Structure 1
Amino acid sequence: MDTKKEVFPVVHWFPGHMAKATRMIKDYVKKVDVVIELLDARIPRSSANPVITEVVGQKPHIIVLNKVDLADAKATKAWTEFFTAQGITVLAIDSKTGKGKKQLVKAVERLSKPIIDKWTAKGIRSRSVRTIILGIPNVGKSTLINSLAGAAATRTADKPGHTRGQQWVKIGKNLELLDTPGVLWPKLEDQRAAARLAMTGAISDDVYDLEAVMKQLLMQLTEQARDVLMARYKLKEEHLVSTDTLLDAIGRKRGCLVSGGVVDLDKARRIILNDYRSAKLGLLTLDAVDEEPYYTDGEDK
């Protein structure tokens, strides 16, 4: 199976609420001292919103790789080294368990110290350091804030982008966090990245081409998790000759049959997608540090 060349159009969208959220974020960034950018550790490049990079400007900036419990540890280390080499403070955390949250608070305090010192030098009464957590939908912003606050400080929803409203959340004596809506960018030119956003749940399941997304996921699973894939679905080598053959085989193994012995392909696709998202197919990082983007016209820009 050729895992390198096939990339299919997945999604072209930019809902109105995303455009509005981008404008709001630009306004909010002006009000904070330190910016925390939350990325999905499974897709650090695909989940990095260029709009966020644009609005951060010269503000102190921390990149947080979340959901490390679902990502490959070696890949997370490589991405940490990649961002560190650019002079960016980077932390790997698991917001669900709270792993890494103390280090995050310390990093915010360290980056904000020059700001506090400047206030002191000018005789300005010190206030709480204000920070903002930015990221795409479903990357775990509200879960992280809840973990830091020690209580359900923000309302969350199962669907990406459904955290409602914005609010300041007090963290200890000297830190305030502002929650924001998840924001995708104006044009998803990199269709490989678009597919990976769909695979991980950043894009709602009802707005993308499931067939195209799963074709790419199956190719990547065959390349990165061949043994796990074969073991979980009791496959043979002959089943891996193409994504169509593989999908049909998994559908039959999982009993996704309709009248006439035909496989319900959509049902099979959703089984595989759920298995991937719940790490039943192993701890996988889909973005590689040295991987080039793939644009819709097939040419790198």
Structure 2
Amino acid sequence: MINWYPGHMAKAKEKLKENLKVVDVVIELLDARIPFSSRNPKFDSLIGDKKKVIVLNKMDLADKKITDIWVKRLSEEAPTVAINSLNGQRINLMISKVKNLMSDKLNQLKRQGRRKKPIRLMIIGVPNVGKSQLINQLCEYGSVKTGNKPGVTRGQQWIKMRKDLELLDTPGILWPRIDDEEISFKLAATGAVKEELYDSELVGYKLLKVLKDIISDTLEEQFDLSQVNNDTLELMEDIGRRRGCLMSGGKIDRERTGNIILNEFKSGKLGRISLEISSN
């Protein structure tokens, strides 16, 4: 479904390996709606034994009960917290987990009478998972460039942050090829890849197939339907008809309809929805 690996990401991967040597803690940023699919399988081998905090972002868009399950499960691997990088919710908890990881080293410096150094962080994650928003929440002096499109932040720089932190900013990194169709679908549906790189009709259809089984009442209300059709294709056409997605001869524009379904899911208009309950 997706085959995308821009050259700047390949270079960033090599740069990341070099810069890990000067970083104290890595923050692995995931999408709370798809914690498994938004994990880059290359990250663990890149990070090695470096200290890590796992952060589930966009908690406001995900089902709270399911997110709590993921936090508990991932906490067995590393300290884990769910946040909302848009409004800063629970970011202080994330910072406290970072500092807890570094407490032994900081105490050792204090005992030796050496000057306390800022904790150096690196945030890694697939594109459009909210890295720039999180950086903006943490920055003391202004903000970095942000955008709604994946891959907008391409440079690397050290950023002075609040509460004795320094950040080495790195671009999001997507793996060379995504052969798993389900992972491809979830990344596309949540906005991790640019719209022009996937078929919005197909992704919208697959998303609707999932949504009709878990939020049928919401779909009825949001799209002003008398009922939710069990046939996904017919349901998609019902939605297209209600939203005026018509072409000549009364044919439904399914590509436009797919975009509407995707946009209303990504914006949270359909409620707090998680697409992954487990990593199986």
TM-score, normalised to structure 2's length?
0.94
Corresponding residue for 2:248? 259
Give the distance between the partners of 2:199 and 2:84, measured in 1 at CA: 30
Within a 5 Å distance, the mapping from 1:96-175 to structure 2 comes to 96-119=86-109, 125-150=115-140, 152-172=142-162, 174-175=164-165
Sequence identity percentage:
44
Query: Contact 1:232 / 1:281 at 8 angstroms: preserved in 2?
Result: yes
Does 2:18 align with 1:27? Answer: yes
Q: Return the letter of the residue paired with 1:58.
A: D
**Kept in 1: contact 2:240–2:252 (CA 8 A):** yes
TM-aligned CA distance change 1:95 to 1:241, over 3 Å? same
Distance 2:85 2:119 in 1: 21
8 Å Cα contact 2:85/2:130 also seen in 1:
yes
- Output the CA distance in 2 between the equivalents of 1:113 and 1:15: 38
Q: Can you list the C-alpha shifts for 1:228-252, whole angstroms capped at 9, x where unaligned? A: 1122113244x52322111111110
Match of 2:48 in 1: 57
Do the aligned partners of 1:22 and 1:51 also contact (CA within 8 Å) in 2?
Answer: no
Which whole-Å deviations, capped at 9, do the CAs of 1:173-209 have from their partners, x for residues lacking one?
5211121101111221221111111111110101112
User: Structure 2 counterpart of 1:149, which letter?
Assistant: C
CA distance in 1, matches of 2:21, 2:231: 50
Counterpart code for 1:248: E
What is the rounded CA distance, in whole Å, between the counterparts of 1:20 and 1:236 in structure 2?
52
Tell me the residue number matched to 1:297. none
For 1:1-301, what aligned pairs fall within 5 Å after superposition? 10-84=1-75, 86-119=76-109, 125-150=115-140, 152-172=142-162, 174-237=164-227, 240-289=229-278, 291-292=279-280
Q: How far, CA to CA, are the matches of 2:271 and 2:41 in structure 1?
A: 29
| SS at 1:193 equivalent | helix
C-alpha displacement of 1:120:
5.1
State TM-score, norm by structure 1. Answer: 0.87
Using the alignment, how far apart are the partners of 1:173 and 1:235 within structure 2? 51
- The residue identity in structure 2 corresponding to 1:182 is G
**Structure 2 letter corresponding to 1:42:** R
Task: Provide the rounded CA distance (Å) in 2 between the counterparts of 1:66 and 1:173.
Answer: 20
Q: CA RMSD in A?
A: 1.8
Residue 257 of structure 1 aligns to a residue whose secondary structure is coil
Aligned length: 280
Q: Which amino acid aligns with 1:11?
A: I
* 8 Å Cα contact 2:128/2:149 also seen in 1: yes
SS of match in other structure, 1:97: coil
